[in-house]
Structure 1
């Protein structure tokens, strides 16, 4: 008599118990590979998030905290400095992100041209600012745009301006300086994504469009933009998140001045925690405003892009 392990019509049957043990063993091996990473993510990512959330319902000086409910959240709407930082951050977002996305898109299309010479050099040159130190480049921008800096000297020699522009002490020009700095640094980062996506578009699509008489402008709006839509959405969201968390440039170029005219939400959180009398509870509350803004702007961008997934 044939046993369960024997073959029927020449086909070997594996015992059910061995199959279950093999599956369980494979599952345990898989979890063992990701267990350490999962523990560290929970310990250094999710735990601080939950801790900050509970901290936002507390108030006090230093570590002498007590539960105050929603007092910190109601305090936000009565805090003029906080409202100013939100306004400044939203201005950076509305002005800088579209400019950076459009410039990165334009440069990527330009540098994807097969007839362009020295493409590798130009791509590297535009991308290099992304790998520079945040503090180092911020300090350089501070000196370039100072009252007697190189920018003012060049503009005056070219007779574009009659007297130096107060780049760092005038509220409007100080904001423009911050916008120029972050655009210069991050435009190459977004350009790389667009270049990668452009090289994945089938060239035969453009050839068919040219045969049908489509102009370069029509090809750009009818072929390039639709194919880049997922990447444009991705770069828009990541740029939004980065701008809402803006800190280094403002801290090193203008220190939030003049008169809080350039201060961002992140810098205000830093001041609440380390510069003013430490109020970690209120600082945690302000930090969750960034989370809420990121969620709201991300949802808005998905809606505008028409992405249903």
Structure 2
């Protein structure tokens, strides 16, 4: 009987503790109200509305007309550009998802070994590109398709190129260029979360590990560091998944919308094309719903893989 009553008592205790902490921090919750209002109006409501809208023909002028699964049938059967967008999105997801996640972790780990000044400096250096939109202007100058482009000028001076390469218009280079720029800009919130995770590890755990027989940094990494950073690693993984699946802004600003022969066209670009250029909001909502389903499945997979570190 004791085991049966212990569960509900624990739940009641957790509920009472949560309510007590909410009352103790009511000022913080009050300050969150403006953000939550805008978040619900401009994020939650549009996301909820997009699902039923995906089953309609809606041009933002006339009333939505119910078409059932017609948008989804067209999307997967008759839309060749969508299939190109799926392929490009998967390529982006592979390179700017797992690769960027591991890169963020390794850079954060290396920065954590530096002194206080260098930690702050290099954290800012790697995080700064994710904060500014002027970065596209810089990359357009570097990748300009004439001899005045910095990359072309250097390569031609070295004798590697005889004539300027069209880095942002030639289909041979477009996808690679956009992936490189996206990786350079990917050290955002996930990177900061991992940096914070390194800072919050109890140093006494390393001393205890040395007593227990841990001999080098690699053993420390896998036996102490990673298990101690479960929440931060999970948050960073979710952020990287969201970024990798919704990638499109970099290509749109760097190589245009649409890019040459849709070489850098992603699912997000496809949704933007139909939603903001053609105003076919029903079809665009169907595209967004497919993207949302793919992101949800990926997040479930990450939770399953990293969930053991949350105990």
Q: TM-score, normalised by structure 2?
A: 0.78
The answer for the alignment partner of 2:13 in structure 1 is: none
What corresponds to 2:296 in structure 1?
A: 295
Structure 1 Cα separation of the partners of residues 284 and 100 of structure 2: 30
Q: Which residue matches 2:5?
A: none
Listed as ranges, the gaps of 5+ residues in structure 1 are 1-25
Q: Check whether the contact 1:58–1:281 (CA below 8 A) recurs between aligned residues.
A: yes
* 1:51 alignment partner, one of 41, 46, 49: 49
Give the number of the structure whose residues are more often helix, by fraction. 2
Question: Cα 1:131–1:73, aligned 2, differ >3 Å: closer, same or farther?
Answer: same
Q: Residue 259 of structure 1 aligns to a residue in which SS?
A: helix
Q: Deviations over 1:157-204 (max 9, x none)?
A: 445556554422333521121112122122254332122111111222
Cα distance between partner residues in 2 of 1:229 and 1:160: 46
Mapped to 2, the partners of 1:98 and 1:143 lie a distance apart of 29
Alignment of 1:13-32 (within 5 A): none
**Aligned position for 1:141:** 139
Distance 2:243 2:178 in 1: 14
**Paired residues for 1:99-114 under 5 Å:** 99-114=99-114
Residue 127 of structure 1 corresponds to which residue in structure 2? 127
Q: Secondary structure at the match of 2:168?
A: coil
Specify the alignment match of 1:167 in structure 2: 167
CA offsets per residue over residues 65-91 of structure 1, 9 Å max, x none?
421111111111121111111211111
Report how far residue 287 of structure 1 moved: 1.3
Q: Post-superposition shift, 1:42?
A: 4.6
Q: Report the Cα distance in structure 2 between the residues aligned to 1:234 and 1:224, rounded to whole angstroms.
A: 16
Calculate the TM-score normalised by the size of structure 1: 0.78
Residue 61 of structure 1: how far off its partner (Å): 4.7
1:269 maps to 2:271: yes
Task: For 1:244 and 1:184, locate their aligned partners in 2 and report how far apart those are by CA, in whole Å.
Answer: 16
User: Does the 8 Å CA contact 1:138/1:252 hold for their aligned counterparts?
Assistant: yes
